[in-house]
Amino acid sequence: MSGLAQDIPPACLPRFNRASALARAILRVAASLFSRVDPESDLRPGEVTTAFASMFGAKMTRKYYLISDLHMGGDGQLQHCDYAAEFIAFLKRLEKEDPATELLIVGDTFGFWELTLVLGTEKLDHIIKAHQAIFDQLKVVGARIKVTMMVGNHDYDLACDPFYVDKLASYNIHLDTSLVLIRLVGDKKIWIEHGQQRDTFNAFRDYGNPHALPVGYFITETFVSGASRYSDFGRGDWLKDIRSVGTIQIPDWFLSNYFYREMSMTLRWLLLPFLLLSGVTIVAIVGELLRVVGVFDYNIIFQNPLMRRLGIVDNVLQVVIGINSIFLVMFGAPMSLVLHDLTRTLRRFHVLTNRWMMPDLDSQESYLKGALEVFTNDHEVAIFVFGHTHGAFLRRLGPSGQVVLNTGTWLKLLHRVPVRFGLLPAVYYPSYRLNYFCIEEDNNHLVISYVEIPKTPESELTWLQRLVTLGRMPKQQETIPVRTVVDF
């Protein structure tokens, strides 16, 4: 026993020993944070931290559930929540988890941007009232495990007013306004962010300033909330799904719904044969040019044995193709010149990419690049988590097998499917991908579990939409393994 301990009265020795152990633990934790743990030590930083926490009777979090982009709330029909039953059932399962578990909602829990008829902090009260069953269940779960909510771009108000901290705390929800959260599993880190700061349209230059709003806010407030407010005036409530498509796709999606749903039935059926036969019209024009220059003595499209056998059908086809040809020659050629010049201008302003495509605002490129930088700068980071783009995926990216994953969304997803033929607008097929990730330590490995909750969308496509896309299906979503193991 040391000389100092010999001077301690015997009755105080137990307290002295506990204090000494606490002091050693503090020193070890501090050393581990600066990566200066004694190389001869048999304790890893994660184990030291666990021992330190246990001295206070606290439990280290051993399991993390991650979801994002719930987008609850909005004007008009946007207030409706399609996934309420599935989400409440998911929360009920978490009631059975060990208290050393944390649920992280990685941003965009609320649709404040889409809610313009209610102002200020009343927005949260308005949303809670509309989704009371969900918040009651969150309160129950939060009494059992830790529930942490991050800030996204659509609920940016959460980062600008301390009122929300206390309001959410009354439902056992811990609001963390940090742009990045770090969680530990063993001696490895999980990097968690919503992802809006890597999106030029939605990044906040002065984070925390309620007036420093990005371009994405004005697009959402003008088009998304406005469309939802007036969706009841349409033939069906399709306008409420406007936030289920990418920003760049909104004009194309609107044109599709106008043609297949809102256009006068008489006008649609008058235009349909002309649009369907647009491809044949171009071939007919080429056939006529070949006749004029003397390659053939007759138009091989109109004047051939097969067409003659069609009788009156041949006559109708010739009329339709003839009218189409006139429109293409009179308007198609000038419009192609204007389009060519417009494209050059847009490329000069970097609105178009070098592949003659609109830039993909929902692209994962900036996030993958950011994840790689994080892995390079901090070798203890094993997983990079983000949301925002609504496209769930999991990929190994780092030099040591690190993982980057997107938590997806619980909103309805709309997938663009081109038509089989003609110049008809594309069709948008609905689907759901309700999901969550679970990260935990298992036998000295970091294990990522992925679960999808099945949900089938209601039948909402017209028979014409199904007919013109017959045999075509939406592009298959990226497959995510149900179990991924990352070695420590």
* Residue ranges making up the domain that contains 321: 277-351
Which pLDDT value is given to residue 349?
54
Q: Rounded to 5, what percent of the chain is helix, strand, coil?
A: 45, 15, 40
Among 323, 351, 379, give the residue marking a domain's end.
Answer: 351
Do the beta carbons of residue 246 and residue 201 sit within 8 Å? Answer: no
Same domain for 213 and 68, yes or no, is yes
Please report whether residue 229 resides in a domain. Answer: no
Phi-psi label, residue 421: left if phi above 0, alpha if psi -120 to 50, beta otherwise: beta
As a whole number of angstroms, the distance between CA 446 and CA 63 comes to 10
Torsion of CA 295, 299, 300, 303, to 10 degrees: -140
Please report whether residue 318 resides in a domain. Answer: yes
Q: Closest Cα partner for 141 from 181, 98, 183, 180?
A: 98
Counted domains in the chain: 3
As a whole number of angstroms, the distance between CA 257 and CA 307 comes to 35
Same domain for 296 and 197, yes or no, is no
Among 320, 351, 382, give the residue marking a domain's end.
Answer: 351
Report residues of the chain scoring pLDDT below 50.
Answer: 1-8, 13, 16, 27, 29, 31-58, 353-361
Question: Largest alpha-carbon pair distance within the chain?
Answer: 120
In this structure, which amino acid lies at residue 88? I
Please report whether residue 123 resides in a domain. Answer: yes
As a whole number of angstroms, the distance between CA 63 and CA 102 comes to 6
As a whole number of angstroms, the distance between CA 130 and CA 424 comes to 39
CA-to-CA separations, 88 to 22, 71, 81, 105, in angstroms, rounded: 42, 15, 12, 14
pTM of the predicted protein model = 0.77
User: Could you identify the residue written with the tokens 């200066």?
Assistant: 36
Exposure letters 289-310 (e unless 16+ CB within 10 A, then b): eebeeeeeeebbbbeeeebeee
Please report whether residue 293 resides in a domain. Answer: yes
pLDDT 10s digits, 292-338: 777 776 666 666 666 666 667 666 666 766 776 666 666 666 777 77
pLDDT 10s digits, 109-147: 999 998 888 999 999 999 999 999 999 999 999 999 999
Which pLDDT value is given to residue 313?
63
CA-to-CA separations, 343 to 16, 200, 306, 332, in angstroms, rounded: 78, 22, 41, 16
Same domain for 333 and 376, yes or no, is no
